[in-house]
Amino acid sequence: MGFSPMAKKLKNRTSAGRKTKAKKSHSRAQRAVAKHAVREAQVQYVPWHTIPLEELNPLLQRQFVVGQEIMVARVLLKKGCIVPEHSHHNEQLTYILDGALKFWIDGKEIVVHSGEVLCIPAHMPHKAEALEDTVDLDVFNPPRADWINKTDQYLRGQK
């Protein structure tokens, strides 16, 4: 069964409206990332101890470095810290340096221990809990504009 010409026109407008809104949001994110990213391709040498720890809540701290198209973050989670369910357009690779995180993702519970890696596709909702004090290295492509702009309210002020 086909759509009437009016229904097609309305569907196309609604779809175009969503695309325009998503495009504007993505454009804002790109500007935010560009503001903090390296302007030209160049080598960056950044010892972690030179980057101040950002305290998001009493159980969660982080540091990050932003390149042209990639971002690496060192995330420190105290035992019991909950990262609420969220999703983002960034692909994420999580490498646990020390400790363990339990993830709820794609209908499964996955515990990632020290020395293990989890790759989370873009737009996939996920949640995590620190099973012990944990040091996590997260890599994002593209860089997380919400982290750079400090608009990541889902992480701030919670346990």
pLDDT tens series, the chain, 159 aa: 454 454 444 444 444 454 444 455 556 555 556 555 556 778 999 999 999 999 999 999 999 999 999 999 999 999 999 999 999 999 999 999 999 999 999 999 999 999 999 999 999 999 999 999 999 999 999 999 999 999 999 999 765
Written as one string, the DSSP assignment of the chain is -PPPHHHHHHHHHHHHHHHHHHHHHHHHHHHHHHHHS-SS-------GGGSPPEEEETTEEEEEEE-SS-EEEEEEE-TT-EEEEE--SSEEEEEEEESEEEEEETTEEEEEETT-EEEE-TT--EEEEESSSEEEEEEEES--HHHHTT--GGGTT--
Question: Which pTM does this prediction carry?
Answer: 0.75
